[in-house]
Structure 1
Amino acid sequence: MAEAADRARRPRRGRPDLRGRRPLDGAVLTAPAGPREPGPRTPRPSPGRLRPARLRLAAAVLLAVYAVVVLVIVAWPTPVDAGSQGEWLKHVLKALHDRRLLVFLGYPQVEFLANVVMFVPLGLLGGVVLGRGRWGWIILAGFAASGLIETLQFFFIAGRYGTVDDVIANTLGTLVGALVARRILRISNSSRIGHSASS
């Protein structure tokens, strides 16, 4: 009787002992499945904000269009300010000077500023395409492009002439555009980081 009672109190093989909470033979106890914590979500850009890849693609397309326009302008047999357009500008400057307005601004200064403005898109679009940290290459590209243009105009295009002042103005315009591109990329990067943190 004692052996039967002791055998009855022993847990059967393969069954858990509810008193000792022993696991089944060869079984592994796992924690009860509970609600899973949501993992980190990948931030998605808002519809109104342009992705960096799309921004660079748009800048590359505009840069190609800009290059074609510049080639047409520099290869044209006559300067863009020749003829009636140049005379119109001179009349405007004379009218301003007669009224004591912008007396410091003459035709050479307007031409210099025009050459600066003409190369601002090169620095701006090129800066966006190449990204941050490559401003030296963009400015060097503007200097090289301007030097090539002025050399072609001086030696090979009749009726056109190249000057060192134009190279300086074009390089300065490239620098201004690159600084604007740097500011745009910095704002875009800050906005992207802020959006990721808020998500």
Structure 2
Amino acid sequence: MTETSQHDAELMTLDEPVLETIKRDLKMIGAKLKFVFMPTAKSEDTIAELRKWDLWGPLLFCLILSVVLSVSASEDQGSTVFACVFVVVWVGAFIVTLNVQLLGGKVPNFQSVCVLGYCICPLVLAAVLGMLWNNIFFKLALVAAGYAWAMRAPVVFMAQLVSEEKKALAVFPVGLFYLVIAWMIVII
């Protein structure tokens, strides 16, 4: 078998069992999360891994955050909170991506949304832990730590997409995006 036909055989997953597909996707999510949760990784390694985009992880984290915050909300506002969180995450990620593109950055929409979506994971963990022990000071500390942790990878990623003089303009909306998500976690 030639190298190209072997590569094509690896890409053909129609005959793959569903459990294998789920395992492969979970391993892929775990590999990307390693770069979000290990801030000691080199910037080049982080950027190389984050350039391989997928939307399974961002969808999973968005759903978890939406469910956690809707469960934490009052009974009559649960569905509204779920919808608002879902829209804020996806529309906000696309707006941040559009900003980088307007500043001259060459980044595919879904690649940027992937990076931003994976990087909300520390905020999702803060929301889950804050829901378990509903103390405002504990929640504030968790969210502040989650915000700082969530900002590392996208700042490195976005800063490399634009010229030196436009880095602040590219990074500021990222910080604002995560600040809105952090604020929603704190107030709900």
* TM-score normalised according to structure 1 size: 0.29
Give the TM-score of the pair, scaled to structure 2. Answer: 0.31
Larger radius of gyration: 1
Whose helix proportion is higher, 1 or 2?
Answer: 2
